[in-house]
Structure 1
Amino acid sequence: MLRRLSSLEARLTALLALAGLAGALVFAGITQWPLPQLLAWAHKDLGLALRTTPQGTSGALLASLVVLLPLAFWMAGVVMSPIKRLLRALEGAVASYRDGDFSFSIAADRRDELGELIRMHNALGQTLREQRQHLVQRELLLDTVVQNTPVALVLTNAAGRVAYANIAARHLFNEGRSLNGLDFNEVLAGAPEALRRAVEGGADALLTVEMDGHEETFHISQRAFRLQGRPHRLQLFRRMTRELSRQEVVTWKRVIRVISHELNNSLAPISSLAHSGAELARRGQVERLPGVFASIGERVRHLHGFIAGYASFAKLPAPRPAEVAWPAFLESLALHCRFALRGEPPAQPGWFDAAQVEQVLINLVKNAHESGSPEDGVTLGLDLVGQDLRIEVADRGPGMSENVLAQALLPFYSTKRSGTGLGLALAREIVEAHGGRIALANRDGGGLRVTLLLPQHGASGREATIRQVPGS
């Protein structure tokens, strides 16, 4: 009941009633009493020529308005004053919230609707302050984690300028100095060419580059998204060299177990058959010896073939680069696998070991077909990029997961139940023996792209020598 009586509505009702009562009193005072009696007394006793009453009702109303207007303005100011103060306070609060300052509160002790609005506003401000504090703490924790992660992280805006970079990225690209605000393409100008091309490709990739006199293997992840309504791109550069070294140790242990298992499976029956043959010879049952020797020979041949497959990988001969004519090379390759040639081959001949590179391409095209890609989706591209020959085998299969991309080039790693895990590893060995590099990346729209970069220094050097002969 008290709250209802102290509400703003009750106050406005009381003021309106007071204004009405004041108007009625003024009108009665002018028309009934005491103004008519005062005017009559002044005329009779003082001899003043004054009208006894205003002319009619309209004159009385006009006189009432003259008296009531100042009173109305005063009462309106009394009613609107707290509302104006509250509106100014709310304007200041909204401006503070817009600037990110949630410390603004309104001090007022009222028990009406305005007081309830002020209390709700202050509660909202307190909630926003607490949430802001929690967000700041979370951002600080996230920034600490991101800054100290060993993965180099670079966030660029739509213009290609760096909006955020962690400590690992600053050390990788700018000798520890800040990258914020720099054009990332200009920053990459000092990076290895293979790394630049992988970033320009815009897809995940695994590649090996030479840095500081030794080789480093990187796994690159790139994602596009919108931040605060604007397009951004996030690039992650993860050094895989140490991880690959650990994986190689694990892989070689696995290989040793496989070889030991296979050797035991072959040597145990050979040992048993040899003992049986000796026993048969001792007993003079020589008619059964040919069968024993045949079984031993079969197990030996199986073991020889098993070891020869692994030995071919371990004893890969050094490449013998020579001039390669593209028509004959592509015609020979087409006899072993099916592919669609993308574009025209380079005008000048290639310079590499034709037999080894042909074997690499046969394995890659075969893998592309086995990935489930449509037959017309398997393509072969040949391009000259500076002093390098770029060979790309692409398909439209499902591509590879990040985990598979990170391990696909390891020896004996395979996702196929019956695979040996030597195809991509052999391709890597052959390409690196040529002084080149191999990179795997998922394609936009699905599929995998395997890129081989083979230096053509031998061919260019030989041509330079030929050009110098006439002038010598």
Structure 2
Amino acid sequence: MALPRRKSLTTALRRPRFRLDSQQRLALLCLALTLISLATLAHFNLFRLWACIAVLAGALVLWLAISWSLKPLRREILALNLHAQNLQDGSFNTSANQLYVNELAPLASSLSTMSAELRAERASLYQRELLLDTVLQSSPTAFVLTSDNGTVLMCNPAACQLLNRGKNFSGSKLASLNTLNRQLHQALANRQQGLIRLDNNGQSVWHLSVSKFQLNQQQHWLYLLKPLTREIQREELNAWKKLLRVIGHELNNTLAPLSSLAFSGKQIAEQRQQPELTRLFDTVSDRCLHLNQFVQAYINFAKLPPPKITEINWPRLINQLQDQFEFELLGDLPKRPWLADPQQLAQLLVNLLKNADESGSAPEHISLRCIERTDELQLQITDGGGGIAAELMNQVLVPFYSSKPQGSGIGLTLCRDIAEAHGGNISLRNLTRLVDSHDISGLEVTVHLPVTDSTATPTSGPH
């Protein structure tokens, strides 16, 4: 059995059983001096009444004099103690009363410097927390912080929208949410990091990352769900464009000599009066021309230039569209000045109106509506062509996919490319409307164009 260690003499001396304040120490000092003086008088046989009274009076005067001399120092110490207590309570805007501080001025200055530094650090920490909160609230990444037992401590709006239909679920168990997709529920329960595909969500591809860390001496779990659909679609589109440029280059190198040979052969056939060869070379020339136009259409899609931003003249744009297609303009035109590339925006709307016209919809069921929001402009084009099958909704924006026999499959893809070049996007949904007591089913395509800093105060552009 191990014996307990003995405390050292130094440790015992450092921990007195009782403490005396300065006032008590002064009283003991004066008492000791008085006793020494009385003992001295008794030793020299001078112990008289008047001598004792003189010694006692001198001790009292000494005690009063020392107390009076130390009174300013006690005031300084009291002021510094109050300052230190304010620092301990987290009040960094106060300082010691400079009227009471003289001998301990260096210590008071050090405390004031400490207060200023703590005040600056707290302000900086507050700004960082405010910035972090703003980023979390506006971030599209879903953020969920839980305790070790799975209780949700914090979640941002993106997480509420993805996991609980927009409702805050702080304080509940993460595993108890009944609105989760089966794949997402399984991934969160197993803390399985990686890509997750959600077929019933606008953002169908997400990346889940899970990390464990200690906060306030307790274990916590951090779940981050980042949307990757647009990034994947953008990379896919860039891959298609690169492939188109390579194929277009090779086809142009082949079509140029073929067209030249067909033209030369036709002239020789006409000189030798051989109509069959002439028709043959005409067919070859026509097919080369058609193939060249077909390739050029894809090359133009692959080489979409950056938008040239200027103010949109909405009456002129609508008149140009109505010269090409028949549709009904619902509501008013945008009243605020909106900036975009007029040619690219016109091309986008032409493609959408062309799709609506080719959907089999009656012209009177095709409409265009402009909706101004505080943060974006929505251009809604609706038709009565029956809509798109649910299983094909996610494929219509894929390059080269088309449900039309003669379709090229780049119309909607080009529209999405133009919208994303302006910082926006395109959304599609099937819609059933009541028109003249009849239910008309069709497709509603909405172009979302975000507001920019220069939208409110444009510097140039036609009116």
Give the TM-score normalised by structure 2: 0.43
Flag the structure with higher helix content.
1
